[in-house]
Amino acid sequence: MKIIRKSALGLAVIALSAGIFSGSALADVQTQGISDNEIRIGAFGPFGGPVYLYGKLVMNGVEAVFDMVNESGGVHGRKLTLVREDDNCKPEGSIAAVKKLAYSEKVFAIVGGACSNATLASVPELEKSGIPMVINSAVADAISTPVKKNIFTTQLTSSIESRAQLDYALNKGAKKIAVVRMTDAWAMARYNPLMAYAKEKGVNFIANLELQIDAPDATPQALKLKAAGADAIIFILYAKPAAVMMRDALKLGYNPEWVGETAINDFVAFQKQVGIPGALKNFATITATAHQPTDPEMKPWADRLKKLFPNDELSVFNLNGIGSAQVIAEALTNAGRDLTRDKFLAAMGNIKNFESDAYAGKITCDHPRSHQCNQTPGWLALRDGKITRLE
């Protein structure tokens, strides 16, 4: 009996100790990445390759905001430090980056997520770790819908953009609308909502054509579109294939309304890619940002970016980073000095009508209904040779 009682007592002690250590571990996780004078924020995305714009340049925008915040004394006396990881825009790279940031670097939260395919792959690990994540580039709805407790996005999502594209074409009076699209997961995340919305609106596309990301020629597609008499073309394409499509259509003397999305909102670069003067006369595209990098309102950010990264010129990709980082700084401020993961997530969920320097619309995170905090697409087009935001 004594042995039994001793064993029971021992088990009770072990259980109590386990509870204490478990509680301690939970407390540590809640405040990991925080010291008396610093908050460490992680970021992942591609540093190189054709999609580095959505990784490295966006991170540079985040860094510019952190620099401004730190210059002003930080958030409740704590400086913000950005810890970057390269995911090479690959699913396995994204998963590895999340693991390293959450468990080795032990950052407080993560901002970024550049490529939709890669970021989608990291969602299970993000949920498992519980680390707060604010998406600022990847657009796939499945990243943030259904609602995940610790994942928010300040970027326009695929379904929001797809609906806006069709509405734009219809508002322009188009009667014969066509789609030209890629076929990867990024494209399908846009294409499926577009088709569902078209059905809802009673729209039948006059043509529905595929064009791959590395296509060197789009003459066959251009001939089909011209023969069909399409008066508006909705792009679900990256800038490179979209430029090929427009170039080869213009060579045939065919220039309908071209409707782009946020993957094609650097007008200067896109004009160079098309390579035909006046090519963008009938082109309009969605933008998440309120300003062009050359707008006078953006000069303070252009100067700060140049100070930090002398080889950079302010771009729309930097602006996406700036907008998301300002939202994070606002949530950190609202969470208070006694910061924890849960308090930060609660503060994110309570962001209402926040005006950043970058985004086209106000940011509202409608927890628990939605963590898709950016619901306002802007539109850009050339008017009198100038890049203009359409009202």
Model confidence over 319-364: pLDDT tens digits? 999 999 999 999 999 999 999 999 999 999 999 999 999 999 999 9
pLDDT at 22: 47
Is there a common fold for 38-156+295-376 and 159-287?
yes
Query: What kind of architecture, by CATH, is found in domain 38-156+295-376?
Result: 3-Layer(aba) Sandwich (3.40)
The pLDDT of residue 195? 98
Write down the domain spans for the chain.
Answer: 38-156+295-376, 159-287
The whole-number average pLDDT for the span 152-174 is 97
Looking at domain 159-287, its CATH superfamily turns out to be Response regulator (3.40.50.2300)
Rounded to the nearest integer, the mean pLDDT of the chain is 93
Instruction: Return the exposure string of 334-357: e unless at least 16 CB atoms fall within 10 Å of the residue's CB, then b.
Output: bbeeebbbebbbebbbebeebebb
